[in-house]
Amino acid sequence: MLQRLHDEAPVDHFTLGWLMSSMHKRSFGLIMLLLGVVAVAPGVSIVAGLLLMIPAFQMILGHNMPVFPRRIAARPLPTRHLAALVQRAVPVLRSLEKLIHPRWPTPFDATKRLVGAVVVLLNVALLFTPIPLSNVVPALVIALISLAYLEEDGLLLSIALLASVVVLAVELAAIWETVLGAKWVFALWY
């Protein structure tokens, strides 16, 4: 699919709007996968997490593809960046496709809403857990969910959703312990 996009891309510039319309129903998965991978990096995880909220809420609402503000969707991006991404991603994705492929079909609309809701919850954990590098695991789970959703792999999606439950439980426990620790510290001062 990425190779097809590269082959059909305009010569000099493309826009996010063109990319979304070219990918149709798979655009949610690709956008979330890219933002999930970017959210692993500690410096940009907050921005990527906030941007991830846009397609996640649109999935919950049942949109067919992500809708970005016109100013963002119409902004020209150099096609050479898309070409560089495709050259790096295609070999990796081809090897992943040996493991990840369509199986255990799920109802598309229900799956889209569930994935959107889980990504929102993982984003909350990614953005608000007050522990250094706590963004890495939720971002990786978001990327795994996105990859499973993109490839329509119900088995991997089930595993990724189970992983998200575990991550959310651990994150909740970490937040709770942080609150209790802060409460204990404040009790020493008063």
What is the per-residue pLDDT for 42? 76
What is the per-residue pLDDT for 11? 75
What is the per-residue pLDDT for 2? 66
Round to whole Å and give the CA distance between 33 and 31. Answer: 5
What is the per-residue pLDDT for 127? 81
**Regions of the chain with pLDDT less than 50:** none
What is the per-residue pLDDT for 1? 67
Among 43, 40, 34, residue whose Cα is nearest residue 82: 34
Number of other residues whose CB lies within 10 A of the CB of residue 122: 27
Q: At what angle do helices 136-151 and 27-38 cross, to 10 degrees?
A: 160
Round to whole Å and give the CA distance between 142 and 123. Answer: 8
Round to whole Å and give the CA distance between 107 and 49. Answer: 27
What is the per-residue pLDDT for 178? 81
